[in-house]
Amino acid sequence: MGCHCSRAVSIDGPRARKAQSADATASTASRKSITEHLSRAKPGIKSAGIQQKDINQVYEILGDRVLGTGMNGEVYLARNKATGKTVAVKTLTTENLNSRKFELLRNEVEIYLHLDHPNVCRLLEVYEDETSVRLVMEACTGKELFERLASKKRYGEQDAAQVTRQMLDAVHYCHKQNICHRDLKLENWVYTDSSENAPLRLIDFGFSKVFTQNQPMTAMHGTVYYVAPEVLEGSYDSKCDVWSIGVIVYMILSGAPPFGGATDAQIINNVKNGRFSFEGPRWAGISDSAKAFITSLLQRDPSKRPSAVEASKHEWITTNMSKSSSE
Cα gap 21→320, rounded to integer Å: 49
**Most confident range, picked from 18-32, 112-126, 233-247:** 233-247
- Has residue 16 got a pLDDT over 90? no
Give the per-residue pLDDT at 42: 46
- Has residue 327 got a pLDDT over 80? no
Asked if residues 206 and 104 have their Cβ atoms less than 8 Å apart, the reply is yes
Residue-wise pLDDT for 211-235, tens only, equals 999 999 999 999 999 999 999 999 9
Which backbone phi and psi does 224 adopt, to 5 degrees? -50, -45
Q: Binding site for ATP, residues?
A: 90
Q: Indicate the SS3 state at residue 276.
A: coil
Give the per-residue pLDDT at 268: 95
Give the per-residue pLDDT at 187: 95
**Most confident range, picked from 98-102, 273-277, 307-311:** 307-311
Q: Indicate the SS3 state at residue 282.
A: helix
Q: Binding site, residues?
A: 90
Give the per-residue pLDDT at 95: 81
Residue-wise pLDDT for 252-308, tens only, equals 999 999 999 999 999 999 999 999 999 999 999 999 999 999 999 999 999 999 999
Asked if residues 90 and 75 have their Cβ atoms less than 8 Å apart, the reply is yes
Residue-wise pLDDT for 132-186, tens only, equals 888 999 999 999 999 999 999 999 999 999 999 999 999 999 999 999 999 999 9
Which backbone phi and psi does 146 adopt, to 5 degrees? -55, -45
pLDDT band at 1 (very low <50, low <70, confident <90, very high): very low
% of the chain at pLDDT higher than 90 = 65
Helix (H) or strand (E) holding 36: helix 34-39
- One-character DSSP codes across 71-120: SS-EEEEEEETTT--EEEEEEEE-TT-BHHHHHHHHHHHHHHHH---TTB
**How many residues are recorded in the chain?**
327
Instruction: Give the torsion sign (CA, 113, 117, 120, 125).
Output: positive
Q: For 149, how many CA atoms within 13 A lie in the half-sphere containing its CB?
A: 26
Q: What is the DSSP letter of 69?
A: E
- One-character DSSP codes across 164-232: HHHHHHHHHHHHHTTEE-----GGGEEESSSSTTPPEEE---TT-EE--TT--B---EEETTT--HHHH
Q: Which of 15-24, 90-99, 207-216 has the lowest mean pLDDT?
A: 15-24
What would you measure as the largest C-alpha separation in the chain, in angstroms?
Answer: 62
- Has residue 208 got a pLDDT over 60? yes
Q: Indicate the SS3 state at residue 288.
A: helix
Structural domains of the chain ordered from first start: 31-138 (3.30.200.20), 145-326 (1.10.510.10)
Positions marked active-site: 183
Between residues 110 and 161, the one the model is more confident about: 161
Residue 310 CB partners (closer than 8 Å, separation 6+): none
Cα gap 180→320, rounded to integer Å: 27
Work out the mean pLDDT of the chain and round it to a whole number. Answer: 86
- Has residue 127 got a pLDDT over 60? yes
Give the per-residue pLDDT at 40: 54
Give the per-residue pLDDT at 18: 40
Give the per-residue pLDDT at 48: 45
Give the per-residue pLDDT at 5: 56
Residue 175 CB partners (closer than 8 Å, separation 6+): 238, 241, 307, 308
Cα gap 49→51, rounded to integer Å: 6
Determine the residue type at 117.
Answer: H
